[in-house]
A and B are shown apart, each in its own frame.
Chain A
């Protein structure tokens, strides 16, 4: 079961890489023609086409692009001419740093709040958590980001609104600069996780063995933590991992707001410059991370719920 799920993941990745690559063939017109504009003589266009390798058949190009990617070579950027792997590497590290920082904060927070809401369901605490999470889901990320900037940078003068970090920024300074981006991501992601954690536990609470535990005279939080939580763990873990996958996307907007030098910002910049090879490379990296996390979610829920792996 787990092996076949892994195989499916690899197949999905190959199919996605094909979509990413062949969608470029939909491009109206010719990149070489566009780069040179009106002034391009047929010879110059042919030269550029040869340099870019787009005079070869598309199937052949896909195979060579894919083998390059597997060796960590994503080709060259159209805008700057530099190798994409070199541009993207540092930015990928920055993005992963931001996403993992946000994950470390948001996962315990939302699982805790979800348990709290399930414990006090239909009481004021639950209602407050419900309203707050619904608001957080409805707010666009950039609104949350600017609200936080307004509160913590302008009013409280407590955290910087720009998260410009370099490779040599020491860790404490890096943490301080990324406080607001992390808070934004946490608010965006924790809302979903909290709601679904609550739903998963409430689901289990209807079972007879929970009633039994109550009848034995156990106190409420012990019933939840020792009896309900282990059985709700499967769905909770898959929700957590799926939301980590969502973090990967949320990172794009947050990086732009706080001008954080990550992969998402690179991708948005490259889309406006129409630097297709860079967009393809970042798309592939994001998609691969997303698919891998989805895979982990499925495998984890199989491990925690043996019925599913039969």
Chain B
């Protein structure tokens, strides 16, 4: 515990700022139903009401409280992004480690498949698959997880290839250890630092991606509160000089910056690079 505290103290200001922001978002996401003054989809007043004592940030295009939807949006947007990143990391990470450790035809097959999928820009590929599967949260999570897992596959495979050459892994092979032992007890512990940093970066990417899809009207569907679609629904207010629609977009940007700071620090620490 004290070692962890010392580690936190050694963190640069940017990483500390990032940690504070991420923890803050986590608390808001977990406690949304407690701290939100109104319900997620409750219509509480006239449309586009200005900021007031009852509605701190006014109301949206259907007369729902913007502050409440912003708080619930933290829960939905971040929750779905975390879920997607976890699925992508587990699928891509396992496939990559297996391909890098086993080599042979499995590696060739998965490698070529990933090459083809990565040859198409991820937004374009996702739009194609969404057109085919229809726009629902389940299909969006599956599709983005699949598209993002290709990136994690590349990294995990490269790591497994490198670590697989080391003496202690050869020793384990000669001892006759099984595939799962070699992957999870020998290769994975050594590959974990870059994989964790990659998880953070992927999270940023997935989070922005989901926000963008929701903004395009193809991601999280109404009436679920979500930051991307909140920008879309209230965008008309901007032409009247109101900043309210930019708040959810700002919330997205702040979290992305915060996670980037933490990832930078982790990469810095694990690689020992100075510049």
A-side interface residues toward B, CB under 8 Å?
Answer: 12, 15-16, 19-20, 23-24, 26-28, 134-135, 137-143, 146-147, 149-150, 153-155, 161, 202, 245-246, 248-249, 252-253, 256-257, 267-268, 270-272, 274-276, 279-280, 283, 286-287, 290-291, 294
Contacts and interface: CB of A to CB of B under 8 A. Distances in A.
A283 B128 contact: yes
Given A19-B117, A290-B121, A142 B212 contact: yes
B121 A19 contact: no
A135 B250 CA distance: 11
Contact of B239 (A153, A270, A271): A153
Contact of B116 (A15, A138, A202, A256): A15
Contact of A248 (B121, B212, B252): B121
Contacts of B249: 139-140, 142-143, 146
Contact of B128 (A20, A248, A291): A20
B125 interface: yes
A19 B120 contact: yes
- Between A268, A270, A271, the greatest number of chain B beta carbons within 10 A of the residue's beta carbon is seen for A271
A154 B241 CA distance: 6
B195 interface: no
- Between A142, A268, A283, the greatest number of chain B beta carbons within 10 A of the residue's beta carbon is seen for A142
A82 B71 CA distance: 45
A146 B231 contact: yes
Contacts of B232: 142
Interface residues of B, number: 46
A140 B235 CA distance: 15
Nearest to A13: B119
Given A138-B256, A257-B235, 9 more contacts: A16-B120, A19-B116, A246-B121, A268-B127, A283-B120, A283-B124, A283-B125, A287-B124, A290-B120
Interface in B122-158: 122-125, 127-135
Contacts, number: 137
Interface in B228-261: 228, 231-232, 235, 238-241, 243, 245-246, 249-250, 252-253, 256-257, 260
B131 A16 contact: no
Given A142-B212, A146-B249, A276 B131 contact: yes
Contact of A287 (B121, B135, B204): B121
Contacts of A142: 212, 215, 228, 231-232, 249
B45 interface: no
Given A19-B117, A142-B231, A283-B120, A275 B131 contact: yes
A12 B250 CA distance: 39
B17 to A, nearest CB: 13
Contacts of A290: 119-121, 124
B29 to A, nearest CB: 19
B119 A291 contact: yes
Nearest to A28: B133
